[in-house]
Amino acid sequence: MTTTSLLPRRSVLRVLTGAAALGGAAAASLRVPGSAAFAAEPGTEPEAERKTEPETERATEPETYTLTIRHLGRDGRVPTRYRTSVTGISGPGAGRSEQPHDASGTASVRLPGGRYLLESSLWTDRVPDGTDWIVQPRLDLDRDTTVTVDARTTAPVDVTPPDAAAAFLTGGMFIEVTHGGATRMASIVKATPTLRTAHLGPEAEAGSVRQWYDSYWRTRTGGYALGRTFSGTRALTGLTHHYATAELAALELRALARPDRDGAPAGTAGIDLSPTLGPAAGPSVGASWSVPVPGTATLFVTPLRGAWDLVYTAPAAPGTRPNRYFVDGLAVRAGSTTTHTFDGPVTGPALTGRAGVERDGDVLTVDLPLLADGDGHVPTAPSFDTAWAGLHRDGVLLHARSGLLDRATFTVPPGPAPYRLAATVARRGATGATTRVNVSWTFRSATTAGPVPVPVSVVRFSPGLGPDGTAAAGSPMRVPVTVQGAAAGGRVRSLTVSMSADGGRSWTVLPVHEGAVTVPNPAAGSTVSLRAELTDTDGNTLDQTLVDAYRTG
């Protein structure tokens, strides 16, 4: 399947996905904006209709030329199947797109002069034969021109992972051509590794041709995401690269089972992975894997492709929305291992990548996730039974709302004043996950001339838990304590951490030493609750309680 886009590179979607279970079949699809044929521009109507136009109007019409395209298969004959696109890059034909086709294998189209991008796919009805993709990044149409698209000029794309037993999921190649300040793109996505490519025509200007190739592979324990980038004057004629393990980075993705109030099944979780769309990474094709829950998948990726985006979809009980966790811009380096654990304790407030509260004039905007998982991943649809939040000014309740503190707004009186923002979330019977979050912030705030962060903080607890999300019973355990938000970076005046083994009815203070506390874990089948009381160097405070933060096994 090929697609030509008339949109700038950064508007092209991440393209999507070959989806496959670790033991299942693969599927692929492509979604690129602007891939439909474009309507003819004014001045390209049939000759019979143009004869009635005034002479002065005809004089402004651009000169047009006949482009004839001959198609030959690998046997030198008319190909069984082919699809060709011609897209105007610059000049009078800029923005024009045509898909000429004729059963004879020779198709013609009349176009205004200018620079064009031509790309053509040729294939047969036999899947093992694969597809030949031929690209001419520089087609200068200034006279009647004949181009021959010949599959015999192609060479194979031979890109493989270190594991010879890995199964191919999907692959995609993209090309971007720039001329006269305009950029056009073409792409092909395949669910089989039988792609051959070739450059056609003269070389383009130095650096005006950029190309990307991504391929994805499945193994019993995860898979591979292999990508390369190129820049130069020509389209690729074949590509050979057999990756070594030392070239790759490992993403270890742990899926923990965390039954919620209705006992969400273990089941399987989905993992979607693709290069980040941006100046360094360019357009891409992505892939999907599934992983048993609880379980671990290890994906090996190419660092030189840029950063990577990851989406984790947790299993859900029937009739409920699944939680999705987004990890964007994941930077990796060759030889490194990065671990992400999803749906694990300790669930609680998180401020990763956000201010939490902002004031703009006399409006407070609150984006404070209260149920982020143990790694700080924020779920899209967290389950809870009740949630309430209230905003106080000078000790008087100004606003109260039910629900979580994501995308909440509060209008407040002008001028400086002390505030207290309090929230509570209850989750009945959330075995292995925090059953209640109580949190309260105090801060001073005044009218602002624009968006200004409000000084709020949270405390994160990171116990070392087993694959089932439990801690070893009856033994002391070191639990790292991390401050996020306004008090981070050495701006803590005081921090007190306490633990409870009876659901929060009684508390024991734990000394904080070198960024951690030591918790005397109770007997198996118990839970540990955690509390943090913090004051920053400006006097703003936090009181945070997580009931049943984790359990012992």
More confident residue, 57 or 201: 201
Tokens of 125: 């009805």
Residues in contact with 440: Cβ distance below 8 Å, sequence separation at least 6, in sequence order: 420, 421, 422, 423, 541, 542, 543, 544
Residue 508 has pLDDT above 90, yes or no: yes
The confidence score (pLDDT) of residue 84 equals: 98
More confident residue, 268 or 393: 393
Q: Where along the chain do its domains lie?
A: 2-342, 357-552
Residue 24 has pLDDT above 60, yes or no: no
Of 79-88, 284-293, 345-354, 424-433, which one has max mean pLDDT? 79-88
The confidence score (pLDDT) of residue 281 equals: 66
Q: How confident is the model at residue 260 (pLDDT cuts 50, 70, 90)?
A: very low
Residue 51 has pLDDT above 50, yes or no: no
* CA neighbours closer than 13 Å in the CB half-sphere of residue 496: 9
Residue 6 has pLDDT above 80, yes or no: no
The confidence score (pLDDT) of residue 50 equals: 34
Residue 29 has pLDDT above 60, yes or no: no
How many residues are recorded in the chain? 553
Residue 541 has pLDDT above 90, yes or no: yes
* Cα–Cα nearest to 495, from 536, 442, 441: 536
Residue 257 has pLDDT above 50, yes or no: yes
**Cα 506–chain centre separation:** 43
- pLDDT single digits (tens) 348-375: 999 988 899 999 999 999 999 999 999 9
Q: Name the helix (H) or strand (E) containing 482.
A: strand 476-485
The confidence score (pLDDT) of residue 484 equals: 97
Mean pLDDT for the stretch of residues 50-78: 77
- pLDDT single digits (tens) 144-168: 999 999 999 999 999 999 999 999 9
Mean pLDDT for the stretch of residues 215-237: 94
The confidence score (pLDDT) of residue 59 equals: 52
Residue 5 has pLDDT above 90, yes or no: no
Q: Using CA atoms, how far apart are residues 262 and 315, in angstroms rounded to an integer?
A: 13
CB 550 within 8 A of CB 471: yes
The confidence score (pLDDT) of residue 16 equals: 38
Which residue type occupies 333?
R
Q: How confident is the model at residue 256 (pLDDT cuts 50, 70, 90)?
A: confident
Mean pLDDT for the stretch of residues 333-361: 93
Percent share of the chain, pLDDT over 70: 84
Rg (CA), the chain: 30
The confidence score (pLDDT) of residue 427 equals: 87
More confident residue, 412 or 27: 412
Residue 1 has pLDDT above 60, yes or no: no
The confidence score (pLDDT) of residue 34 equals: 32
Characterize 507-530 residue by residue with b for buried, 16 or more Cβ atoms within 10 angstroms of its Cβ, and e for exposed.
beebebeeebbebebbeeebbbbb
378: DSSP letter: P
Q: How confident is the model at residue 61 (pLDDT cuts 50, 70, 90)?
A: confident
Least confident of 71-80, 238-247, 379-388: 379-388
More confident residue, 349 or 58: 349
Q: Using CA atoms, how far apart are residues 495 and 88, in angstroms rounded to an integer?
A: 64
Residue 21 has pLDDT above 60, yes or no: no
Q: Using CA atoms, how far apart are residues 536 and 209, in angstroms rounded to an integer?
A: 53
Residue 35 has pLDDT above 80, yes or no: no
Q: Using CA atoms, how far apart are residues 181 and 191, in angstroms rounded to an integer?
A: 34
The confidence score (pLDDT) of residue 306 equals: 86
Location of structure tokens 């399987």: 268
The confidence score (pLDDT) of residue 20 equals: 37
CB 193 within 8 A of CB 213: no
Q: Using CA atoms, how far apart are residues 379 and 440, in angstroms rounded to an integer?
A: 21
CB 247 within 8 A of CB 302: yes
More confident residue, 324 or 519: 519
- Share the mean pLDDT of the chain: 86
Q: Using CA atoms, how far apart are residues 106 and 90, in angstroms rounded to an integer?
A: 25
Of 55-69, 127-141, 263-277, 455-469, which one has max mean pLDDT? 127-141
Residue 338 has pLDDT above 80, yes or no: yes
CB 380 within 8 A of CB 401: no
The confidence score (pLDDT) of residue 48 equals: 32
